Amino acid sequence: MKKIFIDGRVGTTGLQIYQRLDSRKDIQVLTLPEEQRKEPKFRQEMFNQADIVFLCLPDEAARQAVELVENPDTVVIDTSTAHRTNPDWAYGFPELSAAHREKIIHSKRIANPGCHASGFISIVYPLVAMGILPHDAQVSCFSLTGYSGGGKKMIAQYEGAKTAEMDSPALYAIGQGHKHLPEMQLICGLDKAPVFCPVVDDYYKGMATTVTLHAGQLKGVSGLEDLRQRLMQHYAGQKLVRVSDGTEGIVDGKIYGNTLAGKDTMLLIPAGSDEQITITALFDNLGKGASGAAVQNMNLILGLPEETGLDL
């Protein structure tokens, strides 16, 4: 039986991973007593006993934790931003291509994608890979998330004595320095980082990441339905990412950000007209945007069906 250790199990992402693994009988989850869980000595013992280690830590702590792994057979899945642009690490989004999937399966180091980045990359990567969107395209994106995307501190702010302003959506990272931008640009192969507008609102979880496109930016497609079909072809056969037929995910002409809250899947919704197109990725920021994706990557490494233990 494979041994799994979650470093940072009490944080939002770590707790969600633990909840997905706790009832499984095919793996053993290693844990430390409360008084030992922050001690490097005991954590290192767990790292080197485990077959797979999840790092659910701030960036610098994740970099330091990797240095403690001495067992050459231990696989590390890092959910922080620390290694997402490191070419020596597999980028943990298997649906992007067969090459991404194979690298995950055979790597000892996997960087789990960011939540906003997962939505953006799910849309833009296939368009660039298929030659529909050029590498030098100037792309814009806005992304709505529930407040759990901000971790324990933001959850406490929204569920405590919040200010009156917090009843309304808040645009943040307005200086175009969001930590997901480097991976969004690199993984998609864009010459320039996108203009990115993340928005947090007063609901717990669920994400809607939208890329806006004009027909003049696109090559080799004849309009909205043609673009939909091309995306469907790219994601054909995938179990956790699918493309809307034009009705799925839309309610009375609206797309709601919490539609897939509690799920580990992602739904892409092309909409608009032949001239002005939006593509929205709907998913749970704690599911396919974080913990669900991490468990999916673990399943692939273990040779299991990738949806094992996940909520479809």
Could you tell me if residue 222 is inside a domain?
A: yes
In terms of domains, do 265 and 141 share one?
yes
In terms of domains, do 268 and 227 share one?
yes
In terms of domains, do 82 and 42 share one?
yes
pTM, rounded to two decimals: 0.96
In terms of domains, do 137 and 249 share one?
yes
Residue 93 is predicted with a pLDDT of 98
Residue 307 is predicted with a pLDDT of 97
Structural domains in the chain (count):
2
Q: Provide the domain limits for residue 86.
A: 2-113+290-301
Average pLDDT for runs of 10 along the chain of length 312? 95 95 94 90 95 97 96 97 97 98 98 97 98 97 93 86 86 95 98 97 96 95 97 98 97 97 98 97 97 98 97 96
In the block, which residue shows the tokens 């790597």? 107
In terms of domains, do 106 and 153 share one?
no
CATH of the domain at 74: 3.40.50.720
Could you tell me if residue 24 is inside a domain?
A: yes
In terms of domains, do 46 and 168 share one?
no
In terms of domains, do 85 and 119 share one?
no
In terms of domains, do 133 and 223 share one?
yes
In terms of domains, do 106 and 190 share one?
no
Residue 162 is predicted with a pLDDT of 80
In terms of domains, do 165 and 49 share one?
no
Residue 201 is predicted with a pLDDT of 95
In terms of domains, do 140 and 84 share one?
no
Nearest partner of 77 among 286, 264, 312, 299, judged by Cα: 299
In terms of domains, do 106 and 145 share one?
no
Residue 165 is predicted with a pLDDT of 85
Active site residues: 115
Alpha carbon separation from 305 to 90, 103, 238 (Å, rounded): 19, 17, 12
Residue 160 is predicted with a pLDDT of 86
CATH of the domain at 229: 3.30.360.10
Alpha carbon separation from 42 to 22, 34, 46, 72, 73 (Å, rounded): 21, 11, 6, 18, 19
- Residue 159's CB is within 10 A of a number of other CB atoms, namely 11
CB 109 within 8 Å of CB 90: yes
Cα separation, 234 vs 127, whole angstroms: 9
